[in-house]
Amino acid sequence: MNRFFLKHESLKRRRYGSFYINRRCNTDALGIRLESINGVKKAKVNPLARTFTLYADENGWNVLKIERELSKIDFKSFADKYVPKKKLIRCNDSSFSGLFRSVGALAFSMMVNTNNIKFFITFLAAAPLFAKGINDLIKSGLTSKVLEAMAVSVSLARRDYTAANSTNALLELGEYIEETTVQKSDELIKELGKPNIDKVWIEEVAEGKKILRQIPALSVKIGNIVVVGTGETVAIDGHVIAGAATVNQASMTGEYEPVKKERGDRIMSGVIVKEGQLKIWAEQVGDNTATARIKHYILSSLEEKSAIGLKASKLADKLVPVTLGLSALSYLVTQNMQNVASVLQADYSCALKLATPVAFKSAIAQAGKSGVLVKGAKVLEALSSADTFVFDKTGTLTYGELEVISVTSFDENWSKEEILNLTASTEEHYFHPVAEAVVKAAKKLGFIHMHHEEVEFIVAHGVKTVVADKDVTIGSRHFLEDDERISFKAYEDKINKSLEEGKTILYVGYDGKLLGMIEMFDKVRQNAKNVIKKLKELGVKKIVMLTGDVASRAKAIGGELGIDEVYANMLPKSKAKIINELKSRGGKVVFVGDGINDAPALISADVGISMFKGADIAKATADISLMKDDIESLIQIKALANRAIERVRKNFNATVGVNSAILLGASVGILTPIITAALHNGTTIALLLNSMKKLKVG
């Protein structure tokens, strides 16, 4: 039997059939496997139709290559060994069969004339509803399901079989659409999750030769060299040390445009190599990778409820006895059981309990596709009410990338270029920001490598090596002056002047003397001023900046960007203290940071936001994580939070208003049970569909 066969094709789309695809199929895993094929932008798997559809990327595709790759896929394996733990499709299958049963009973009861047969058919079709109602009454007391069961039973007792079957059919239709909508909102978030990568290739040295060895992805250790080729997904976070490739980062940043990666570039797990090969030095593995953090965010997003959502759910439960009491009052006044059946149809529960979480999940999914990960509905709710944004300057309002702006030589025998080449030759094997800035600057001036002995890296201090039989020491002042006993006395004035200007200095020692210094600067982001302006337009009343810079430099940046409060000469431990002070004044505080020392402040704030290039502990403690290096994402997520809360409130008001009107109409006999059921379920479906709509944030 062929594994697959073509069913339909167009210029950018091809639909294939496969008998191995069925309801037991792990469609998520198969879809991701299909999307890993070079040339495929998107894949959809339909287990009911037993088909999968491939969509070509911007460059089109080679059909022969595509089908050659398809022939390598064992479609049967995606179904045979897959046992779903909790598949929402089961709920949909159940509700679809209930819809089919209720519609069939309605049609059949209208074709027969015998009342006993009509009663039997109607009772049989509504039996699952009665069972759910009794079960809820015993376990949970009065619920919407109890009211629905009572409504159908009243019509059945009155021998109004058309009303009973119509009501049951409308209830089943509403339940089917509700479950499908909720499932879709969950799947929007789950799309952000990445598959587990079973095996990876690592490069090792054996008997003096470099070899490739395949190992389980979970066995990769920090420092391993992972080799990733065309069509493969990166399993670790790290830096590229060799090779060049274009990668699709859409899964991580929301941007589909392929990006070139080469030596020195940072790369995240979850991205797909579209063309080329990369050797990556593993920095984060296993549960510490970007994809592992995303899965954690997804679980939080699906499980967490907002305060508004809890309020809506509690209100819905409180209104059930009100509906029941109103039905009793209607009977006392009108002595009409049809009115009772009508009133019992119109409860608030479904719309109040479903529309709110669906609206939040849709907003979280929309944020994720834009490259912003949100931990849950509570976070969006807190962000919408935030009136104070606090920025840790470095890496947020600035690029977080040092740039060499000048080199000073303290020895007339060494030129500035030679000092830069010496430093770059020593630092080029490391990926910390200072080393990258030096190597980048040297390359711009025509880098000439200087031969040196083995380099010793001293954590948090600097590096040591030997050049021309002389000791070379590069790093912090503390390292050179206190540890290596190199004198700084003759150059104090020049050094202090640079520090007052807010520059970062790398010191270079040679043969026991201070040879020179390399001055670096972290530039303010070009769009920082516009971001601050837009945040204020979105309701933020105060912008605060925290920095370790001297006061003069800090105030200059603050004035340039339009910042309201500036705290200079900040120590890391003081950041959380400032956050708590702002909160004590009544502010709803958002903190934006990226460093290891920002974790306490991120936790203390009402909402903590970590930057794309932030430290892993910052990302782990943050409520929101930016997956691209662009602070304009802050505008998008703040606007999205505002719009989401606005939609939730409108849905809430519409639910209470419309259902109250329906209840009133049913109570006075204007609405029949069938019309009441149609209006009630129609309102719920309309609100759910509205909750699923994409929010406008631009």
Q: What confidence score (pLDDT) does residue 431 get?
A: 65
Q: Measured in Å, how far apart are the chain's first and last C-alpha atoms?
A: 51
| 91: pLDDT strictly greater than 50 | no
**Degrees (nearest 5) of the Cα angle 623, 572, 531?**
50
Q: What confidence score (pLDDT) does residue 619 get?
A: 66
> What average pLDDT does range 541-551 have in this prediction?
87
Model confidence at 83, pLDDT cuts 50, 70, 90, reads very low
* Token pair in block for residue 626: 């930016």
| E-only strand ranges, 585-652 | 589-593, 607-610, 624-626
**Which residue's structure tokens are 């204020």?**
536
More reliable by pLDDT, 169 or 87: 169
CA 692 to chain centre: 17
Model confidence at 81, pLDDT cuts 50, 70, 90, reads very low
CB atoms within 10 A of CB 306: 22
Asked if residues 39 and 61 have their Cβ atoms less than 8 Å apart, the reply is yes
Mind listing the domains of the chain with CATH numbers?
Answer: 5-85 (3.30.70.100), 199-232+236-288 (2.70.150.10), 389-397+525-605 (3.40.50.1000), 401-523 (3.40.1110.10)
Mean pLDDT of the chain: 80
> What average pLDDT does range 30-52 have in this prediction?
81
Sort strands 40-46 and 13-17 into parallel, antiparallel or unpaired. Answer: unpaired
Lowest mean pLDDT among 53-67, 113-127, 255-269: 255-269
Q: What is the tens place of the pLDDT at every residue in 352-407?
A: 666 777 788 788 878 877 878 887 788 888 999 999 999 988 888 988 778 899 99
More reliable by pLDDT, 258 or 118: 118
Q: What confidence score (pLDDT) does residue 88 get?
A: 36
H/E stretch holding 42 reads strand 40-46
CA 119 to chain centre: 52
Q: How far apart are CA 382 and CA 392, in angstroms?
A: 20
Q: How far apart are CA 478 and CA 463, in angstroms?
A: 13
Q: How far apart are CA 273 and CA 289, in angstroms?
A: 17
Share of the chain above pLDDT 70, in %: 80
More reliable by pLDDT, 565 or 665: 565
Q: Hey, CA dihedral for 62, 65, 71, 77, is it positive or negative?
A: negative
Q: How far apart are CA 284 and CA 52, in angstroms?
A: 34
Model confidence at 45, pLDDT cuts 50, 70, 90, reads confident
Model confidence at 226, pLDDT cuts 50, 70, 90, reads very high
> What average pLDDT does range 419-432 have in this prediction?
86
Q: What is the tens place of the pLDDT at every residue in 633-656?
A: 999 999 999 999 999 888 888 888
Q: What is the tens place of the pLDDT at every residue in 467-480?
A: 999 999 999 898 99
Model confidence at 82, pLDDT cuts 50, 70, 90, reads very low
Lowest mean pLDDT among 152-161, 423-432, 519-528: 152-161
Give one DSSP letter per residue of 482-534, joined into a string: IIS----GGGHHHHHHHHHTT-EEEEEEETTEEEEEEEEEEEEPTTHHHHHHH
Q: What is the tens place of the pLDDT at every residue in 297-319?
A: 555 555 555 566 556 666 666 66
| 417: pLDDT strictly greater than 90 | yes
The torsion angles phi and psi of 299, rounded to 5 degrees, stand at -60, -40
| 538: pLDDT strictly greater than 60 | yes
| 32: pLDDT strictly greater than 50 | yes
**Degrees (nearest 5) of the Cα angle 122, 124, 125?**
65
Share of the chain above pLDDT 90, in %: 23
Model-wide pTM > 0.75: no
